Structure 1
Amino acid sequence: MVGVLTLQLSMDSKEHILPRLLAFILANTRRTHPAHCPEIQLHLADHAVALWQLTEVELAKQGLPLPFWAFAWAGGQALARYVLDHCELVAGKRVLDLASGSGLVAIAATMAGAVHVTAADIDPYAIAAIGLNAKVNRQEIDCHFGDLIGQEVDADIILVGDFFYERDIAYPLFNWLLACQAKGIMILIGDPGRTYLPKAHLKEVACYTIEVSRELEDSDVKMTSVWALR
């Protein structure tokens, strides 16, 4: 099956909620190629501020996160590029893409030969976008709706793109990643230097210059690294 999508929401049945999510995504994005991963097509937003304001009003009513799924963030692009250029890291492996967003990194992992890829996110719109983007790229991805931090996971590699932007997330996330590494799971992180990235505990394995939108960032480009845990 192409673009496997398993979505369980208590607010409504999958049959009723999924068409609404997909309709919103299709109405507010267009199919394009991230600059550093031209092999991949994603449904992304052209106008960040407009979509952000729309979702602040509409999605806040449902208590949902802002639309991180609608953009190819610098950390995700760097991590996806690294995976595509180093297929041996994921080929034949079970991969978890944490806070997957658009599904960019998960799609890169499947293209690089991972035997099984799970894309996890806490936003149902992200889960719908991942399924849509997986189908566009003719890749098979399982989606997990919910927070996996602190839980046992069945993976050989955990990929984390641009997830160290808040203090409340960063510390429990990093402690969990350390615990996962202690169990033999490889950890790779893509990050453009977010405030709460624990650089002292990481080693840089690659660096890229990623073009970004000033609507979302404080510059036109971000020097973005891929990190492994020490």
Structure 2
Amino acid sequence: MPQPTTTLRPAPLAPEISLHLAADSTGLFDSAGGEFRSDEPPPFWAFVWAGGQALARFLLDHPETVAGRRVRDLATGSGIAAIAAARAGAAEVSATDIDPAAVRAAHRNATANDVTLSDLSAPVEVLLAGDVFYSPSVAEEMTQRLRAARRESAEVLVGDPGRGYFPERLFERVAEYAVPVPAALEEAETLVTGVWRMR
């Protein structure tokens, strides 16, 4: 799949962070000629999703949430939440994703913001996940991973703009934002997005 063209620009809800992003007029499958191809993940990393933006804004406004702690951003995409954690004073931050292109994009974006992401081997103290409940299979897998981290005493924070498969009963909302989003992605110009802490 050809990679979308990106330019470095500020994230709408967290303009302190600049990311290499596709144009707002670009759709998720434009680089694939409008087709979904199961053999290669679409370039989620070329867009800044509402859940990640909300997490980033929350961490930048509440740095005590991650300051001095080991943080992992699960399903990192562009890396915005990981970068915000690093900017907020986390001791160490890693960014993971099933798509190696997303991990590369997160590191590229981190470099553009003068922060470093690492490979965490020590136990995670804060686990972040933005916009991960968009399909039944992904939501089930993510719920299991988040619950496992919570059982290991990690604080789990999720950014979710009301995706249909979000297991709200497992969380308490700690913040809410009206997040600017590209209409080409969401068919809306803003999404009300919660930051949620797993119970």
Please tell me the residue identity of whatever aligns with 1:188: L
Match runs of 1:117-156 below 5 Å: 117-142=93-118, 154-156=123-125
- Alignment partners' CA distance in 2, 1:108 and 1:193: 22
For residues 173 and 78 of structure 1, the distance between their equivalents in structure 2, rounded to whole angstroms, comes to 18
TM-score normalised over the length of structure 2? 0.91
Normalized per residue, the structure richer in helix is 1
1:198, distance to aligned residue in structure 2 (A): 0.4
Measured after TM superposition, the shift of residue 79 of structure 1 is 0.5
Question: For the residues of structure 2 that align with 1:227 and 1:153, how far apart are their CA atoms?
Answer: 24
* Within-5 A mapping of 1:11-30: 28-30=5-7
For 1:133 and 1:67, how far apart are their aligned partners in 2?
15
What's the Cα RMSD here?
2.3
Q: Verify: 1:41 aligned to 2:10, yes or no.
A: no
CA-CA distance at 1:126 after TM superposition: 1.0
The answer to whether the Cα contact below 8 Å between 1:56 and 1:66 also exists between their aligned partners in 2 is: no
Q: Which residue of 1 aligns with 2:73?
A: 97
Query: Cα deviation per residue 1:26-78 (whole Å; 9 max; x = unaligned)?
Result: x70011001111111100000323x62223689949x2200100111000000
Of the three residues 136, 139, 148, the one matched with 1:170 is 139
Question: Residues 159-202 of structure 1, C-alpha deviation per residue, up to 9 Å, x if partnerless?
Answer: 00000001001112212212211211000000000010001221
Q: Please tell me the residue identity of whatever aligns with 1:102.
A: S
Asked whether 1:111 is paired with 2:87, we answer yes
Give the residue type in structure 2 aligned to 1:41: S
- Contact (CA 8 Å) 2:29, 2:35: kept in 1 or not? no
Q: Aligned-pair distance for 1:124?
A: 2.0
Is this contact kept in 1: 2:172–2:196, CA < 8 A?
Answer: yes
Distance change in 2, residues 1:165/1:58 (3 Å): closer
The answer to whether the 8 A contact 1:111-1:139 is kept is: yes
1:213 counterpart (182, 186, 193): 182
Which of 72, 87, 96 does residue 48 from structure 2 map onto? 72
Larger Rg: 1
CA deviation vs aligned residue, 1:191-216 (integer Å, no higher than 9, x gap): 00001000122110000001111111
- Which residue of the partner structure matches residue 18 of structure 1? none
Is contact 1:80–1:109 with CA below 8 Å preserved after alignment? yes
Return the match for 2:160 from 178, 191, 194.
191
Indicate the residue corresponding to 1:86 in structure 2: 62
Q: 1:53-111, CA deviations, whole angstroms, 9 ceiling, x for partnerless residues?
A: 223689949x2200100111000000000011111110110000000011101000000
* Structure 2 match to 1:32: 9
- Segments of structure 1 that go 5 or more residues without pairing to the other structure are 1-23, 145-151
Q: Is the 8 A contact 1:167 1:196 kept in 2?
A: yes
Tell me how many residue pairs correspond in the alignment.
198
Q: TM-score, normalised by structure 1?
A: 0.80
Runs of 4+ in 1 over 6 A off after TM superposition: none
